[in-house]
Amino acid sequence: ICVVFLCSGSRSSKTFKPKKNIPEGSHQYELLKHAEATLGSGNLRQAVMLPEGEDLNEWIAVNTVDFFNQINMLYGTITEFCTETSCSVMSAGPRYEYHWADGTNIKKPIKCSAPKYIDYLMTWVQDQLDDETLFPSKIGVPFPKNFMSVAKTILKRLFRVYAHIYHQHFDSVMQLQEEAHLNTSFKHFIFFVQEFNLIDRRELAPLQDLIEKLGSKDR
């Protein structure tokens, strides 16, 4: 087992954590609308590119919030299948197991069930997104110098939720007829992190075959 330590109404509308909203009328809201419009064109490689004249940090911030909301919703659809019993460890197949630490509340990595781990992870991400000093929503407020490294850590950890869903719950996803939604969301996520080199290749290893398949289909 490769143990990776972390250091530092309707079913479709059900989310695991509350949705993170970007304030309407803000520049980030306009960017989100631009992202949604270009996604509609079907060309994902083009849709993830930095729009001309825009700030890279702001583009990464808006998309990180969007991926948090997407994963939140996707995991929300399968929470009844991801239990302390069925998923007593947070894993992505037999070779990858994740232990949780956030560097503040839990400093020493702990082994825990997948639902507990994902709860820790999504709560931690939510706290980062709600922190105005890290993710400023007001125009003219600069992003902190460590923004890129925080965003990379968030995206690296969000990837692990996709990896767990694909490895441990894909049958349930198919049963719920959510696989097209999951595949599109993951493809968008991967093209985005590849475009800006945001996740180390080694971290993507649990889904490497799928990533190659998605990439080759797009060529």
Class of residue 79 by CB neighbours under 10 A (exposed 0-12, middle 13-18, buried 19+):
middle
Distance CA 5, CA 154 (A): 14
Distance CA 125, CA 64 (A): 10
Distance CA 20, CA 22 (A): 7
Q: Is 169 annotated as ligand-binding?
A: yes
Long-range Cβ contact pairs of 177-183 (< 8 A, separation 24 or more): 178/74, 178/77, 181/74, 182/74, 183/214
Distance CA 99, CA 198 (A): 21
**Amino acid sitting at position 18:** P
Q: Is 2 annotated as ligand-binding?
A: no
Q: Is 164 annotated as ligand-binding?
A: yes
The closest alpha carbon to 139, from 49, 29, 56, belongs to 29
> Which residues fall within 8 angstroms of residue 90, CB to CB, at 6 or more apart?
97, 98, 99, 100, 112, 113, 114, 116, 117, 118, 160, 164
Q: Is 34 annotated as ligand-binding?
A: no
The closest alpha carbon to 60, from 24, 19, 22, 31, belongs to 31
Annotation: binding site for Zn(2+): 82, 87, 164, 169
Annotation: binding site: 82, 87, 164, 169
